[in-house]
Structure 1
Amino acid sequence: MPPQRLDITVPDSSVEMLKNGSLEVLKHVRKNWKSSDICFKVFTDGVTNRLLGCYLPSDPEDMVLIRVYGRNTDLFIDRKDELQNMELMHSAGLAAPVYLAFNNGLAYQFVPGVVGDERMVQEPTIYRLIAKTMAHMHTLKPLNNEKYRIPSLFPGIRKFLNLASPTFQDSVKNQRFLSKLSTIQDLYNEINHLEDHLVQLGSPVVFCHNDLLLKNIIYNEEKGQVSFIDFEYAHQNFQAFDIANHFCEFCGLESFQPELYPSQKFQKEWLRIYLEEWFCLIGHSSRKVSPKDVETLYVQVNKFALGAHLFWGTWALVQASHSTIDFDYLGYAIDRIGEYYKRKEEFLDLSENKYVENVS
């Protein structure tokens, strides 16, 4: 059954207005909670939406999350699809339940655990869980939706570019854009070239998270499991893109550090674990993962990392024009698109024949 929908709009121009609006939503989610007893936690990690945790001091883990959509994000995020994605993941035991939707956001269950960071996602116990959970997610089938048949990567980048302004009203921001980034037309040319190359790799099209940054991974040590959160960008996409995007997120968000991109050795061990789980889940449990299997996916993943840089670089250009969140979106766009150009020749030159002899 779809979550309840409320005709309530939660204002978020100040923390106090966000809290007051959330109290109206909570009357429908936790009817026995007294407003005077409710505590709030403002989450500041998100760069797309506002997020508020609501709980009673007697049971802080029974937290309701109130997420208010960022301004103009409906230009590039289909909120109906997002809700279906969350329901799909919850039905598979991979995400928390959604309590209800309101005009400009959602209320859903808090997932207890430790939020991912650069150190945690490189711990063997945890990255094995991440790889296996991603393999599980990649077997899910969205509900009868024709548009889910088309991989979202390149339509998504082109949508961002169509929305991105070639100039900014802020003269300082505009000068920074012109001095650091290619023209919009140059970026269109890059997308066309990259698409021609990547679609020939034969990466399977599966249900992807598409935004598996480290803070969207929650590790519950007691249960020995990881959960993924935030499914705004989830859609059918190239398998190798989802993995590549996760690896790119090792480099960070607030402070982009490309030297943290995982090594070949780390990637290949991660990919081996992923493939073992993937083969088992798709009915090939008797098939052993060969060095060639790992190498093929390794090459695909690193080529699709270029797609991840363009996707989030162009996304950040749109946010730089529209978002009210205090984040240097233009600087992030410069970092990601710059990394695309820096790694373009190296990654496009990768081939299985060139590197397979290094696999043992």
Structure 2
Amino acid sequence: MSSPTSSDDLPAIPGCDTIIDLAVLKGDALETKVLKLVQVLFPDWAEGVEKINIERVSGALTNAVFFINAANKRRLLLRVYGNGVDQIIDRENELAWLARLSGLNIGPRLLGIFGNGRFEEYLPSTTLTHDDMCTPEISQRIASSLREIHDIIVVHPFDTTKDHLEIWTNIDKWYKVVMNLLPNLMSKSHGWAEVLKVYNLERLPYEIEECKKILEKVHSPVVFAHNDTQYGNVLQLENTNELVVVDFEYSGYNPRGYDLSNHFCEWAYDYHSDQPASMDMKKYPTYDEQIRFLKTYLETPSKFDNPDINDSVTPESLQKESAMWLMAGHLAWGLWGLIQANQSEIDFDYFLYSTQRLNAFREDFAKWSS
């Protein structure tokens, strides 16, 4: 058993190297394995517990999420990482940020970690739906929540000597992974192979560099960004109706415009519809809906007195900023989708998702290049 810490003097989190293999463990065997894991990590919680009940939560696209229940004990949330996601996510960075956020009372507390997953505080709540996210009142509250998250940059400032922007780090890393996986992806399906040949991924390094040059000219302050504010990652607490953003595995330093555009693009997805992987741009927020969101974002008082939000920024200028950064999100998630198409065991059409995002990147890239 270990107690990982970091150079930030973060609180110690109990940990061990146990692996939960969901391909093998089912039913009673899974419950027995998880109970033994809980006994190691949380002996006080497990005292007197002989039986637990495991309840699977649907909706996560990277991980398997479960509620752990036992008589007279507070509920725990168990997150088991998906197959091969270490190619996608910097787990050490994620855990460090979760500990920092816990210290700021933002999001659920990180309780413990193990070989391929973690335990988090369970928050009695309901998860937003796609329709919830798009209603004016909820949308404005998400804007305020996102502003609060972005302003964490004041408490944990971006250090240009050691920190990096997640968007370009991920794009460069994921492109290399995709090119290594390309023969395998093309062998999976004749249809996939034909699409990938037409798409010509060998062109992307040039397009990536040109995309960087275009976006370097857009003033967009670096913030602490969530980078995945889809409706499934926003909870409404039962007692207070407060909104809480969760699941920070893709979070880190990014330009403000990127995180805002990334949220807007999530309006185009309903992961509980008949076509959960299909991007419907007819659902993308209208200009007026974006302005309403951004006006609330700018008017939300900063808890941390962020000097980068000032009177010179208007909802209209912020809309242009986010619109230009949208192409970077299409590119990143398109590459992510190809990696997931190769390895994920989750029932989701990652290949369709990927090709739609990459096509959208090419369209936006052509628009802003000209």
Correspondence for 2:212 among 179, 195, 200: 195
Q: Considering only aligned residues, what root-mean-square deviation do their CA atoms show, in Å? A: 2.7
Matches within 5 A, 1:251-262: 251-252=268-269, 253=271, 254-256=276-278, 257-262=280-285
Q: 129-138 vs 180-189, which deviates more?
A: 180-189
Does residue 1:264 correspond to 2:287, yes or no? Answer: yes
Matches within 5 A, 1:164-203: 164=178, 165-168=181-184, 171-173=187-189, 175-179=191-195, 182-203=199-220
Alpha-carbon separation, structure 1, partners of 2:338 and 2:309: 46
Question: CA offset at residue 177 of structure 1?
Answer: 4.3
Give the match for residue 297 of structure 2.
274
Give % identity: 23
Alpha-carbon separation, structure 1, partners of 2:369 and 2:48: 56
Does residue 1:333 correspond to 2:354, yes or no? Answer: yes
Alpha-carbon separation, structure 2, partners of 1:205 and 1:174: 42
Post-superposition CA distance 1:111-156 (Å, at most 9, x none): 2222122211122332222111111111214489777632111121
Question: CA offset at residue 221 of structure 1?
Answer: 5.4
Give 3-state SS (helix, strand or coil) of 1:94's partner: coil
Alpha-carbon separation, structure 1, partners of 2:318 and 2:301: 12
Correspondence for 2:121 among 86, 109, 113: 109
Give the match for residue 10 of structure 1.
20
Give the match for residue 80 of structure 1.
92
| Residue ranges of structure 1 left out of the alignment (5+ in a row) | 350-360
Alpha-carbon separation, structure 1, partners of 2:318 and 2:133: 20
Q: 9-18 vs 305-314, which deviates more?
A: 9-18
Post-superposition CA distance 1:285-327 (Å, at most 9, x none): 996x57x611111001111111111110001111122223332
Alpha-carbon separation, structure 2, partners of 1:255 and 1:144: 34
Give 3-state SS (helix, strand or coil) of 2:217's partner: helix
Give 3-state SS (helix, strand or coil) of 2:46's partner: coil
Q: 1:45 to 1:226 in 2, by over 3 A?
A: same
Alpha-carbon separation, structure 1, partners of 2:78 and 2:131: 28
| Residue ranges of structure 2 left out of the alignment (5+ in a row) | 1-10
What code does the residue aligned with 1:109 have? E
Q: 135-144 vs 85-94, which deviates more?
A: 135-144
Give the match for residue 82 of structure 2.
70
Alpha-carbon separation, structure 2, partners of 1:160 and 1:286: 32
Correspondence for 2:164 among 150, 154, 157: 150
Q: 113-122 vs 6-15, which deviates more?
A: 6-15
> When the two structures are superposed, what TM-score results if normalisation uses the length of structure 1?
0.86
Give the match for residue 41 of structure 1.
55
Give 3-state SS (helix, strand or coil) of 2:327's partner: helix
Q: 1:172 to 1:269 in 2, by over 3 A?
A: same
Q: 1:237 to 1:18 in 2, by over 3 A?
A: farther
Give the match for residue 233 of structure 1.
250
Name the count of aligned residue pairs: 344
